[in-house]
Amino acid sequence: MSANDFDVVIVGGGHNGLVAACYLAKAGLKICILEKNESLGGATVSQKVFTDFDARLSRYSYLVSLLPDQIILDLGLDFEVLSRDVASFTPELVESENSGLLITTEPSEETEANFELLTGNLEEYAAWQSFYGELHQMAQAIAPTLLKPLPSRSELRAIVGQPIWNDIMEAPLGEAIERRFKSDLVRGIVLTDGLIGTFADAHDFAANRCFVYHLIGNGSGEWKVPRGGMGKLVAELTRLATELGVQIETNSQVIAIKNNSAGFEIETETGPTYQSKYVLANCAPQTLAKLAGTPMPESLDGSQVKINMLLKKLPRLKSGIDPKLAFAGTFHFDERYTDLQLAYAQSAAGYIPDLIPAEMYCHTLTDDSILSPELNAAGYQTLTMFVMHTPANLFDQNHDQVKTEIKSKVIHQLNKYLLDPIEDCLALASDGSLCIEVKSPQEIEKEIGLPRGNIFHKDLSFPFREDGEAASWGVETAIPNLFLCGAGAIRGGGVSGIPGHNAAAAVLERLKG
């Protein structure tokens, strides 16, 4: 083998590429990762966004649910995720009074009382308990299948059971939500899990697919805070990959993948060419199509704006709730069901929605290790906001103007619920600017290569194959020995390591013959 000859070349050093590399190197294979950026991690990174301050923000992805404990155990990673006591808080006016719905992570009398206050009786709470109880059973059934070859539709249906299978997999999500819940606010909170990173109407199956992945992680669907931030995961994977002898080349953009009888030849923009028997593509399938001539997948554009903030203090709320409770879980605002549906319709028609649905959370209330001791002592906090239904096409013309308009609209909306305007709470940089950064889908594409800013590379797929389709790991492509190992694989999407694990498993299975 020459120096540039490998068993497996991995195109892209996102967390999934690193997971695949670790499994394969542990199995004794010679592995090379080619990453186009200066640093590894892709959408899973911590960065000092505001250079005056030692605050390492999870710049893109921020919460973890889908990463199976098994991967952490298999690879012996020093990586921990922390539960939050509060699942969510949604501010709302009740009879002209500022109030809100606080939902604790575990069932509680407080949550029950809040549902009663917000909806007038306990029916909605009972509907919530029953729906999420069934979803928990669905999660328990699906989670153990995620690191195995794809089950068929009938196999998965048999283990998930009815009626939840039909509600989630066979009928538009909006039908189940409208049948099971009456409150516009509660319906909206449920629907958001179908729309994070997915531009869809409640009656579009894209929302069902997105909903599934938001509810099944580790058999509970609980979204947890990564201790040390997202970059900690990539730092651990990089440490292990390096110890296992994986060759990692950054600033190495792959420009072509050619296959011949001997295997693959991988060309980079900087010059060196690499040879391998197998190629794993951690880049998006759309990128792979350009590099290797595989079919170009159809996909929705990304539809979110990400806002990162560093604060001197948390704002107080008009409802009077303690900010440490309100911002510890997901703080939903203007995400009522009718808000979401109207915002979708307006964006789909090419307009910035009148009311832009958004949600955010404070990392540092659960894990202050991302701030320096000095910032912690001074009471600094972070907020990360995910703004929905702002698809890439809105920004195609007048990018900067649209970005400014969306930012000011969302800030104005948020301030409606706050006693202290958010601007008064933001940290000030030495040049006098406020510590807030806004990322459009186009900027996300430019920085980390997510096509049109789609956070899952491309639209998600249900976690099964159709009956009669050939057995697979969900990572295969039209070219033998070339596998997807990133978010664009079936059961990819999110910070999960699942497609990385499954691509490695597919290679090892082929090698066994």
Ligand X SMILES: Cc1cc2nc3c(=O)[nH]c(=O)nc-3n(C[C@H](O)[C@H](O)[C@H](O)COP(=O)(O)OP(=O)(O)OC[C@H]3O[C@@H](n4cnc5c(N)ncnc54)[C@H](O)[C@@H]3O)c2cc1C
Q: Which residue has the tokens 């972070």?
A: 382
Rounded CA separation 235/210 (Å): 28
Question: Which residue among 188, 221, 449, 474 contacts ligand X (CB under 6 A)?
Answer: 449
- The residue range among 120-128, 327-335, 363-371, 489-497 that interacts with ligand X, by the rule CB under 6 A, is 489-497
Which CB sits closer to ligand X, 43 or 418? 43
If one asks whether residue 487 binds ligand X (CB under 6 A), the answer comes out as: yes
Binding window for ligand X (CB under 6 A); candidates: 37-45, 271-279, 322-330, 410-418: 37-45
User: What single-letter amino acid sits at 304?
Assistant: Q
Pick the piece of the chain touching ligand X (CB under 6 A) from 105-113, 114-122, 161-169, 445-453.
445-453
Q: Does 104 bind ligand X (CB under 6 A)?
A: no
x-or-dash string of contact with ligand X, 278-317, rule CB under 6 A:
----xx---x------------------x-----------
What is the DSSP-derived secondary structure letter of residue 494?
A: S
Query: Exactly one of 44, 145, 208, 477 binds ligand X (CB under 6 A); which one?
Result: 44
Distance CA 42, CA 179 (A): 40
Nearest-Å Rg of the Cα atoms of the chain is: 23
Residues 239-258 that bind ligand X (CB under 6 A): 253-254
CB of 11 to ligand X, least distance (A): 5
Q: Does 63 bind ligand X (CB under 6 A)?
A: yes
275 pairs with which residues across the strands? 5, 265
- Which of 6, 23, 50, 62 is close enough to bind ligand X by CB under 6 A? 62
The Cα–Cα gap between 121 and 116 comes to 5
- Tell me if 414 contacts ligand X by CB under 6 A: no
Beta bridge partners of 362: none
Tell me if residue 4 falls in helix, strand or coil.
coil
Q: Which region, judged by CB under 6 A, interacts with ligand X, from 28-36, 121-129, 272-280, 371-379?
A: 28-36
Q: Nearest to residue 481, comparing CAs of 260, 285, 150?
A: 260
* Stretch of 41-49, 167-175, 332-340, 375-383 lying at the interface with ligand X (CB under 6 A): 41-49
Q: Please tell me the distance from the alpha carbon of residue 248 to that of residue 11, in angstroms, as a whole number.
A: 11
For the chain, how many residues are written? 513
Q: Is 11 in the site for ligand X (CB under 6 A)?
A: yes
Binding segment for ligand X (CB under 6 A), chosen from 9-17, 73-81, 163-171, 461-469, is 9-17
Closer residue to ligand X in complex, CB, 115/456:
456
CA pair distance 312, 436, nearest whole angstrom? 12
Q: Is residue 495 part of the contact set for ligand X (CB under 6 A)?
A: yes
The answer to whether residue 37 forms part of the interface with ligand X (CB under 6 A) is yes
Half-sphere exposure of 414 (CA within 13 A, CB side): 27
Strand spans (E) along 160-269: 225-226, 247-249, 254-260, 263-268
Parallel, antiparallel, or unpaired: how do β-strands 97-104 and 86-94 relate? antiparallel
Residue 494 found at the interface with ligand X (CB under 6 A) = yes
Which residue type occupies 72? I
* Binding residues for ligand X, total number by CB under 6 A: 37
- Is residue 276 a contact point for ligand X (CB under 6 A)? no
CB of 178 to ligand X, least distance (A): 27
* Residue 363, burial from CB neighbour count under 10 angstroms (0-12, 13-18, 19+): buried
Q: What angle do CA 25, 27, 31 make, to 5 degrees?
A: 25
* Contact track, ligand X, 450-469, x by CB under 6 A: x----xx-------------
Cα 292 to Cα 268: distance, rounded to the nearest angstrom: 13
Candidates 126-134, 160-168, 398-406, 484-492: pick the segment binding ligand X (CB under 6 A): 484-492
Q: Work out the number of other CB atoms within 10 angstroms of the CB of residue 468.
A: 8
Residue 13 lies near ligand X (rule: CB under 6 A): yes
Binding residues vs ligand X (CB under 6 A): 11-17, 34-37, 42-44, 60-63, 66, 253-254, 282-283, 287, 306, 444, 448-450, 455-456, 486-487, 492-495
